[in-house]
Chain A
Amino acid sequence: MTSNAPRAVLADHNVSVGRAMWAVVRRDLRSSFRQRQDLLNPLLFFFMVVTLFPLGVSPEVSFLQQAGTGILWVAALLSTLLSLDHLYRHDFDDGTLEQMVLQPHPLFLLVLAKSLAHWLLTGLPLVILAPVLGIMLHLEGNSIAVLCLTLLIGTPVLSLIGAIGAALTLGLRAGGVLLSLLIIPLYIPVLIFGTGTVAAATEGAAVEGYLALMAAFLVLALTLAPFAGAAALRISLSNS
């Protein structure tokens, strides 16, 4: 099957919504795997930012154990931000995005599909890489497990909220910096609860409540963010 096939699926009016979403996800995955650098950059960034903390602050085991989860979460947040600019950029530049807006399916579902693809390409690799960095930061086994769980629930929220910012700053000069300014305030609750969960787990407290709250964030972001993202996308495209 050629890479044009998913696009052909999108153009077909008789295609079901599910197939259209799946086509968007598959197309994004495929085009990213053909440009591996885009895929690797956020991961390398994640790795390097985490490395800066032991070097810049202190390599003491006690410090790293205390600050490790925070460092990992902040680094994951920053590398997600870094990768957001790519979410729509290529499609915007070559006009694919306009075609997506024109097809008959609800736009918010396609935004959802794009966000899912973005998470599969950046969030999930971060979750997989996190245990290695956790060990390097001397975190305990239990903390690392909980950390990965929070990242697993939290990074999709980051992708979903980020998609709104990416759509708003589409086609603007200095869009990348602007994107960070708009999105960082919205990321703060996820960060607080993400690190809070791990802190509770380290102290031996029950984490179910925290995890349930994070899951609530995920549900809220899943249901609301795509609508805002779709509205933002329409505005940006009508402007260009």
Chain B
Amino acid sequence: MWTLFHKFGSPKWFFGIAGRLMPWLLALGLGLLVAGLVWGLAFAPKDYLQGNSYRIIFIHVPSAFLAQSVYLMMAVAAVVTLVWRMKLADLFVQAVAPVGAVLTFLALFTGAVWGKPTWGTWWIWDARLTSMLILLFLYFGAIVLGSAISDEKASARAVAVLILVGVVNIPIIKYSVEWWNTLHQPATFKLTEKPSMPPEMWVPLLLSVLGLYLWFGWLACYRMQTEILRRERRTRWVRELVRAEGH
């Protein structure tokens, strides 16, 4: 068990596995994403109330979905960093924090673009918008703290503490702003209920959500590989790898 554990924790091992997984993740992810987006943007039926403007949902919902789950994934990785001090968990947090921030921004931006024709305003201080904005702040906090501490180990563990504190706060923030002010419609997908949209709308949406997840998986692997190469640039296996590439 422990040998397996060490194996999973080794950046070198991960580098190889990631390299084998990445083409699949990229191909499947991009395929699903393109299929979902083309279907959603060009072929799905118009909304009877909102016309074509609702189509931004095919970008808005996947990015909002992922923005939140990336933070949760980071929280899991933060626990692993603090408890087992696994290098990979720390690599993951560092690699995906900016991605999460960009996705959160994308969700907010597409939301604003969508809000203009539907609600008649770019921005309102609504519960969901505000809690996404705060999520963006939490991402910024993690990124800024990580780059402020120069020592790699200390930085990883400090960021992990911050992320965990944030994760305890996310439900509190969410409910407090929801109680405070709300206009946004409830969640699009619920595990327990059938979606209220017709299948021609939710199937492409589901495809683009899945596609974005897979694509995120690819991006996370890519960024982690890059960081591994940077951190382990003095080790023998990286040098041999670089020599084998023949540049």
Contact = CB atoms under 8 A, between A and B. Distances in A.
Interface string A155-168: 00000010010001
Which size class do A's interface residues fall under? 20 to 34
B174 to A, nearest CB: 9
Contacts of B151: 239
Interface in A182-240: 182, 184-186, 188-189, 192-193, 196, 217, 224, 228, 231-232, 235-236, 238-239
B144 to A, nearest CB: 6
Interface residues of B, number: 27
Interface of A is mostly: helix
B161 interface: yes
Contacts of A238: 154
A168 B154 contact: no
A102 interface: no
A239 B154 contact: yes
Given A168-B162, A178-B144, A185-B134, A239 B176 contact: no
Contacts of A231: 82, 157, 161
A112 to B, nearest CB: 16
B173 A185 contact: yes
A189 B157 CA distance: 26
Interface in B123-154: 134, 137-138, 140-141, 144-145, 148-149, 151, 154
B187 interface: no
Interface of B is mostly: helix
B15 to A, nearest CB: 27
A172 interface: yes
Interface stretch (B27-35, B96-104, B164-172): B164-172
A174 interface: yes
A181 interface: yes
Contacts of A188: 134, 173, 176-177
A182 B141 contact: yes
* B82, B148, B179: most-surrounded residue (chain A CB, <10 A): B148
B148 A172 contact: yes
A236 B150 CA distance: 12
Contact of B154 (A164, A193, A196, A236): A236
A239 B82 CA distance: 15
- Across the A-B interface, the 7 shortest Cβ-Cβ residue pairs: A239-B154, A189-B176, A185-B137, A182-B141, A235-B157, A192-B176, A189-B172
Interface of B: 82, 134, 137-138, 140-141, 144-145, 148-149, 151, 154, 157-158, 161-162, 164-166, 168-169, 172-173, 176-177, 179-180
Given A185-B166, A186-B165, 10 more contacts: A161-B165, A168-B158, A168-B162, A169-B148, A172-B148, A189-B172, A193-B176, A231-B82, A235-B157, A239-B149
